[in-house]
């Protein structure tokens, strides 16, 4: 079984400032890692994913995340946020070897970008 | 861009009514999922399917039922809706290809309110 902890439930940030959203996971098996974004009243959109290879993963909208196996973390960063980045961000993992690749989600981090 | 569609997007219904939330995907994915998300909360898996005629209960117990008669279609049914069923229901699908790996794609969600 896996669990995902997003350490910050809300992150207020000023426009053009950098932001980091923290994600730690716990798993007894190797996992794939994902970040999804949810804009108000919408479904989830995939931002980026780590499947294998380079631990620094670049996604859409200028986001990137770094997989740290020793710290079991997958923190999401953006060097300069826009108002349009206001949304909820979910970190998720899935078991590499499980047939169903079901996702386990963290509790979400609400990002509020202020002008 | 994922091709997964949910209808209705918004539904307000009286207690005791039967409802079906539709989900269709055009990607030929074999695996499909239903997640439930209460406002401001994390997502929980309630049903999943590995293929036609395959359905399983997820991590969160739900009074809803699902069916998978066709690959592209994975409807969710509540026989008798109650106010406790008020939530957002997100349908998702995944398959395997060298580009997306085991990525799970989400629909835009169905917001159900039971009054």
User: Taking all residues of chain A, what is their mean pLDDT, rounded to a whole number?
Assistant: 91
Give the per-residue pLDDT at B103: 77
Give the per-residue pLDDT at B115: 96
* Nearest Cα residue in chain B from A43: B108
Confidence category of residue A51, pLDDT binned at 50, 70, 90: confident
Give the per-residue pLDDT at B81: 95
* Nearest Cα residue in chain B from A39: B108
Q: Which residues of A touch B42 (CB under 8 A)?
A: 90, 105-108
Q: Which residues of A touch B56 (CB under 8 A)?
A: 100
The C-alpha atoms of residue A42 and residue A69 are separated, in whole angstroms, by 32
Find out whether A18 and A113 touch, Cβ atoms under 8 Å: no
Give the per-residue pLDDT at A95: 81
* pLDDT surpassing 80 at residue A33: yes
Confidence category of residue A114, pLDDT binned at 50, 70, 90: very high
* pLDDT surpassing 90 at residue A94: no
**Residue A83 has what DSSP assignment?**
G
> Hey, is the C-beta of B31 within 8 angstroms of any chain A C-beta?
yes
Q: Give Cβ neighbours of residue B58 (< 8 Å, ≥ 6 apart).
A: A102, B33, B34, B35, B44, B45, B46, B47, B48
Give the per-residue pLDDT at B2: 60
Give the per-residue pLDDT at A99: 56
Task: Mark yes or no for CB contact B90/A51 under 8 Å.
Answer: no
3-state SS class at B102: coil
**How remote is the C-alpha of B70 from its chain's centroid?**
15
* pLDDT surpassing 90 at residue A74: yes
Q: Which has the higher per-residue pLDDT, A20 or B60?
A: A20
The C-alpha atoms of residue B27 and residue B25 are separated, in whole angstroms, by 6
How long, in residues, is chain A? 115
Give the per-residue pLDDT at A67: 95
The C-alpha atoms of residue B92 and residue B23 are separated, in whole angstroms, by 8
Task: Mark yes or no for CB contact A102/B48 under 8 Å.
Answer: yes
Give the per-residue pLDDT at A42: 82
pLDDT tens figures, B1-24: 568 999 999 999 999 999 999 999
Confidence category of residue A105, pLDDT binned at 50, 70, 90: very high
Q: For the ranges A18-22, A82-86, B24-28, B37-41, which has the lowest average pLDDT?
A: B37-41
pLDDT tens figures, B62-106: 899 999 999 999 999 999 999 999 999 999 998 766 555 667 889
pLDDT tens figures, B28-71: 888 999 999 987 788 899 999 999 999 999 888 889 999 999 99
Place of tokens 């993963």: A57
Give the per-residue pLDDT at B60: 85
């Amino acid at each position: 079984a896996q669990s995902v902890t997003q350490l910050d439930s809300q992150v207020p940030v000023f426009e053009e400032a950098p932001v980091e959203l923290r994600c730690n996971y716990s798993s007894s098996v190797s996992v794939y890692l994902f970040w999804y974004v949810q804009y108000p009243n919408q479904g989830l959109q995939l931002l980026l994913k780590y499947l294998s290879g380079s631990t620094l993963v670049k996604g859409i909208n200028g986001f990137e995340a770094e997989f740290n196996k020793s710290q079991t973390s997958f923190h999401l960063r953006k060097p300069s946020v826009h108002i349009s980045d206001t949304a909820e961000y979910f970190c998720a993992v899935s078991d590499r070897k499980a047939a169903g690749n079901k996702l386990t989600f963290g509790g979400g981090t609400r990002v509020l970008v202020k002008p | 861009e994922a091709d997964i569609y949910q209808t209705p997007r918004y539904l307000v219904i009286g207690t005791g009514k039967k409802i079906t939330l539709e989900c269709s995907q055009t990607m030929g994915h074999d695996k499909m999922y239903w997640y439930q998300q209460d406002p401001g909360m994390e997502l929980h898996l309630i049903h999943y399917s590995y293929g036609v005629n395959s359905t399983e209960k997820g991590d969160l117990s739900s009074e809803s039922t699902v069916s998978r008669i066709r690959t592209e279609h994975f409807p969710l049914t509540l026989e008798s809706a109650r106010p406790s069923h008020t939530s957002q229901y997100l349908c998702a699908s995944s398959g395997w290809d060298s580009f997306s790996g085991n990525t799970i794609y989400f629909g835009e969600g169905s917001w159900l309110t039971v009054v």
